[in-house]
Amino acid sequence: MRKVSAAVSLFVFWILLSGYFTPFLLTAGAVSAILVVAFARRLELVDPEGHPVDFSGSALVYWPWLFKEIAKSAWDVSKIIVDPKLPISPVLVRVRSTQASAVGRVTYANSITLTPGTVTILAGRGEFLVHALTAEGAASLAEGDMDRRVTRFEGAR
């Protein structure tokens, strides 16, 4: 099932990039997609990590929330930058991560980094070292709202 979905997504990607709908190019695209999946299978790349299609449902719930958070904190960081006093209070904090799988931890670490104002420096098992631009940003991250949402995102497949 995962192989079929990987091949289909690759084929869609081919069509989007080429933009030609002649029979020859469509066949070439299909053959390429199938060949790539066959090679990836030999390399053991078509697994829940390489093609995490199981998460697409919960991503539709999680991503809009993430986009909202990104916009909010980008606005906050922009206000700090244009403020003549530059009111920053950088801190290093350790935050707990309750995700079980590697995909979940990567999602959480990437979400922290994508949100302006917080960057994951070290991503270990169960605990991340995070650099925050302001103490308030660090405090709101330590509340663990994002952590819970990512754990739900990871668990809801």
Per CB under 8 A, residues contacting other proteins are: 13, 16-17, 19, 70-71, 74-75, 77-78, 80-82, 86, 88-96, 109-111, 113-123, 127, 129, 131, 133, 135, 138, 142
Provide the minimum distance between the beta carbon of 109 and other proteins in the complex, in angstroms, as a whole number: 7
Cα 83 to Cα 130: distance, rounded to the nearest angstrom: 24
For other proteins, the closer of residues 39 and 75 by Cβ is 75
Provide the minimum distance between the beta carbon of 133 and other proteins in the complex, in angstroms, as a whole number: 4
For other proteins, the closer of residues 34 and 74 by Cβ is 74
The answer to whether 134 and 88 are in contact (CB under 8 A) is yes
* Beta-bridge mates of residue 95: 128
Provide the minimum distance between the beta carbon of 139 and other proteins in the complex, in angstroms, as a whole number: 9
For other proteins, the closer of residues 2 and 131 by Cβ is 131
Q: Calculate the alpha carbon distances from 111 to 41, 75, 77, 146 in Å.
A: 29, 16, 16, 8
Provide the minimum distance between the beta carbon of 77 and other proteins in the complex, in angstroms, as a whole number: 5
Residue located via tokens 């053991």: 44
3-class SS at 76? helix
For other proteins, the closer of residues 40 and 147 by Cβ is 147
